[in-house]
Chains A and B, each alone.
Chain A
Amino acid sequence: MRFLLRRAAQALFVIFGVACVTFFVLRLVPGDPARLMVPPGSSEQVVQAIRIRLGTNLPLLEQFWVYMSGLVQGDLGISFRYERPVLELVLTFFPATLALGGVAMLFSILVAVPLGIAAAAKPGGLTDRLVLVLAMAGQSLPNFWIGVMLVLFFSIQLQWLPAIGNDNAVSYILPVLTLSAVLIATLVRTVRQAMLEALAEDYVRTARAKGVPWRRILFVHALKNAAIPLVTVIGLQIGFVLGGAFVVELIFNWPGVGLLALQAIATRDFPVVQGVVMLVAVVFVVANLLVDIAYAYLNPRVRLGVEQ
């Protein structure tokens, strides 16, 4: 319990840190949002009027204070461009990203775990070599390249699958494949490695001495041990999945926060960019917290509070 509280406190600190860094970094970037909202060459008065409306005319530290005090109350500000509360915008777009990332992660786990186990069951065998080659290849491919080629082939040439949007279940196929390619490769490696290490442990020898059938050793004895490092790696990958989702959303025009953020960056819509960054940070931190909890659950040493 104390362990959880400590992790939660660390999580809050990280989120706060991200908020600060985002705020200042954004304002370092050239490009006055007020100027982007009026015709090029408009007079200084016109631009200043917009600045006043947006609140960007205030001194930097004052803007920071306004933002932070709003943040603490759950108010993420108003979008410069869409003129709606950022929280509302972000919450409208977020489910799509969550769905994409979640399905991709789930799909990757469902594919990677059996493959990794199969590979570890007969190291050096045909399945193993094949899986290793595929994993190596998967991690070497630029995922947006895969995405574009998939669209070219399946949407345009064959017209089997939609190229844009998330209207129905079928439209998940290409984006999820694109996002999963690298993820599966990484997870397969992890599962395989973890399984191999587990299988090399003494308790497997004991299980065999007990007469436990090989399948049961794989799926019960070894897997439960392998699950521990696997869960850690999944946690690390959550961050990369979120990042990868940005690019995938651009290719497929997936209406998620990645697309929202990329558009907002182009129009210097600071509040929206900040809002998305905050959301991503929160998701990342929460996911890691969940991973820690899962890890504690799976690893009895941690659960029962024994120092490793």
Chain B
Amino acid sequence: MIRNRLLRPEVLIGLSLVAILLACAMFADWIAPHNPTRMAPTVKYLPPMWLEGGDPRFFLGTDQLGRDVLSRLIHGARTSLTIGISAVAIAATFGVIVGLVAGYFRGWIDTVIMRLADIQLAFPFILLALSILSVTSTKSALTIIVVLAVADWVIHARVVRSRILVEREKEYVRSARALGASDLRIMFLYVLPAVLPTAIIIALIELAVLMLVESILSFIGLGIDPPAVSWGTALADGRRSLANAWWMLFFPGMAIFLAVLAINLVADGLADVLDPRLKLSGIVRRVLRSKSARETDTAVVEHPPLLAVDNLSVEFPLEAGGTVNAVKNVSFTLRTGERLGIVGESGSGKTVTAMTVMGLLDTAGRISGGSVRLKGRDLIGLEESKLNRLRGSGMAMIFQDASTALNPVFRVGWQIEEAILLHQPVSRTEARRMALDLLRMVNIAEPERVAGSYPFEISGGMQQRAMIAIALSCRPDLLLADEPTTALDVTTQAQILRELDALIARLGTGVILISHDLGVIAEFTDRVLVMKDGEVVESGKTADIVTAPRHPYTQQLLAAVRKLEGEEPVTERALVHSPG
């Protein structure tokens, strides 16, 4: 799996370029056709070999002192790379330690260190470089390394620090501290290894940056002293001779460009494996519509059921190749006003089924067979715009974790209004009024306050109620509820369920309730599907199933519920609720 991700074409290109770079650096003396520092003014300014006036001895031409450009580039690789790697090593080591200390201990240490870092960041780099480089009379590789390292450590410190801030709150750190481990031990044995991947990737990226910076320094005349040659000094020479010899500027620039690009590609490949947060390519999740765009069946059955799912199968591709069937030949129907429960453990395919109905299959999933019809209308293969019109108005869904399901940067009222305005031809003021009514309908005491609040300002229970308000705002015929109360505490759970129960009874909405909790299913639904590994293993009236489960899996589920709830028999509760 890792190999696959590392061997993406871009990364391979990057790795090969880096390999060439390293080869040049290590074997420059053997690879380079000429001595890079030997001056021969008689052959100065020769163009590259393939141009008029070029000399086959000098593939990329010569510079203002008759030195071979190609040889200078090859040797320059060694210098530039050495300077870059040394500078990054120093900067990273220092930066990581400082970031570690600042992030871990926080308090005044953190403040002082971060202020110092701010000061350095505010200081223009060129002046910093000039000051340091001017104090020493020679500009050796060492002085340049020091300049670059001094300029760069701040980046490493900052990144590591922000990662540490997150890591130190994690469980394993807390427990280590609870166990009495010393700070030093925690820092270096626990926290550091966790941030090391990030630090390595940042180091690679900064290597590329510093190689660029070295060329900038050379450009303004602060490059390494001759006879040493780096890409930066070659670039500076090229700039001065641009009038006569464009190749002196072009090829060093290309060399820097390719080297930096290569390092970035490799860093990206590494990030993919070690710390996807840093990846250039980001999270690769694809929003796919189902591939099978089939003809909608125009033959509409008289009085069709609200929802008819027929032999639905959904598959997902595996990282290692091949596919897995998340849903296998699932069939069920739902009548208007009916309540269907789908129960099963995680991975049983219940959520995937619901998502498929809504057309929200948002991973690499693919519908490999079967049909889904809402009021006789085939949903699979429906255009996105038509599906959007149905969603929210014809069918709606509420999700497990309301705190993340609501958009954190918009007010609750706005989010409800949006649902209304999308599907109903009303004015904004009207929508606002309707939203407040909806909030009242879901038993929220101060609808104006809640409507004007952001999601994080209200409790979990209120968030879920808001979600319900959004879902029911356009009086959908079908409501899918995916573990709607699992994220709430037990008391609120019961409350919400009761309220939801009353609401949909009043509205006559058909509901599919998904849960892993058989108790909830028992209390709430008319019929139930039991799913395991993507298949329906048992289905029937809820009352029947909970009293006399036939499939061994269902029996296991029941037994588990009984165990957790103590001796309270499930049967009584099931009888309290009457279908209809």
Contacts and interface: CB of A to CB of B under 8 A. Distances in A.
Interface residues of A, number: 76
Contacts of B118: 10, 14, 17, 285
Contact of B391 (A149, A208, A239): A208
Interface stretch (B61-69, B70-78, B170-178, B249-257): B249-257
Contacts of A149: 249-250, 253
Interface stretch (A67-75, A76-84, A160-168, A196-204): A196-204
Given A203-B405, A203-B406, A140 B131 contact: no
Given A145-B235, A148-B249, A196-B283, A211 B126 contact: no
Secondary structure type dominating chain A contacts: helix
A276 B456 CA distance: 45
A116 to B, nearest CB: 10
B283 A197 contact: yes
A94 B282 CA distance: 38
Contact of B219 (A17, A26, A207, A247): A247
A212 B407 CA distance: 13
A144 to B, nearest CB: 5
Interface string A144-160: 11001100100000000
A8 interface: no
A22 B283 contact: no
Contact of A299 (B116, B287, B405, B409): B409
A14 B404 contact: no
A205 interface: yes
Interface stretch (B290-298, B381-389, B525-533, B570-578): B381-389
Contacts of B454: 300-301, 304
B204 interface: no
A285 B122 contact: yes
Interface string B371-393: 00000000000001101111111
A276 B284 CA distance: 45
Interface string B8-49: 000000000000000000000000000000000000000000
A137 B257 CA distance: 8
B188 interface: no
A206 interface: yes
B418 interface: yes
Contacts of A170: none
A273 B456 CA distance: 49
A29 B136 CA distance: 9
B399 interface: yes
Interface string B207-228: 0100010011001100000000
A30 interface: yes
B149 interface: no
Contact of B286 (A18, A30, A124): A124
Contact of A142 (B256, B384, B422): B256
Interface string B254-283: 001110110011001000000000001111
A25 B122 contact: no
A203 B404 contact: yes
A196 B121 CA distance: 29
A10 B287 CA distance: 44
A214 B119 contact: no
Interface in B105-151: 115-116, 118-119, 121-128, 130-131, 134-135, 137
Given A142-B215, A246-B124, A277-B127, A210 B422 contact: yes
Contacts of B268: 136
Contact of A243 (B126, B362, B456): B126
Contacts of A213: 385, 388
B401 interface: yes
Contact of A18 (B119, B212, B258, B388): B119
Nearest to A123: B284
Interface in A131-145: 132, 135-137, 139-142, 144-145
B268 to A, nearest CB: 8
Contacts of B407: 203, 206-207, 221, 224-225
Contact of B131 (A28, A123, A281): A28
B127 A261 contact: yes
B121 A284 contact: yes
A189 B121 CA distance: 22
A164 to B, nearest CB: 15
A304 B453 CA distance: 10
A200 B280 contact: no
A142 B470 contact: no
Contacts of B445: none
A145 B282 CA distance: 29
A210 B216 contact: no
Given A26-B131, A202-B404, A209 B257 contact: no
Given A25-B131, A28-B131, A210 B391 contact: yes
Contacts of A123: 281-286
A127 to B, nearest CB: 13
Interface string A22-52: 1001101111000000000000000000000
B423 interface: yes
A214 B257 contact: no
Contact of A247 (B115, B216, B457): B216
Nearest to B215: A142
Contacts of A137: 257, 261
Contacts of B423: 211
A22 B123 contact: yes
Contacts of A31: 134
Contact of B135 (A18, A30, A145, A228): A30
A124 B280 contact: no
Given A209-B397, A211-B390, A212-B422, A30 B280 contact: no
Given A140-B261, A207-B407, A152 B358 contact: no
Contact of B358 (A135, A207, A209, A243): A209
Contact of A202 (B127, B258, B401, B418): B401
B396 interface: yes
Contacts of B391: 208-211
Contact of B281 (A132, A139, A206): A132
Nearest to B121: A239
Nearest to A205: B360
Given A152-B242, A224-B409, A17 B115 contact: yes
Interface of B: 115-116, 118-119, 121-128, 130-131, 134-135, 137, 208, 212, 215-216, 219-220, 235, 239, 242, 246, 249-250, 253, 256-258, 260-261, 264-265, 268, 280-287, 358, 360, 362, 384-385, 387-393, 396-397, 399, 401, 404-410, 418-419, 422-423, 454, 456-457, 467, 470-471
18 contacts: A14-B119, A21-B119, A120-B282, A124-B284, A132-B281, A140-B261, A142-B216, A142-B257, A145-B253, A152-B246, A189-B280, A200-B283, A200-B285, A210-B396, A210-B419, A211-B387, A242-B124, A281-B122
Given A29-B135, A31-B134, A212-B392, 10 more contacts: A25-B127, A132-B281, A142-B216, A200-B283, A208-B358, A209-B397, A212-B422, A300-B408, A301-B408, A301-B454
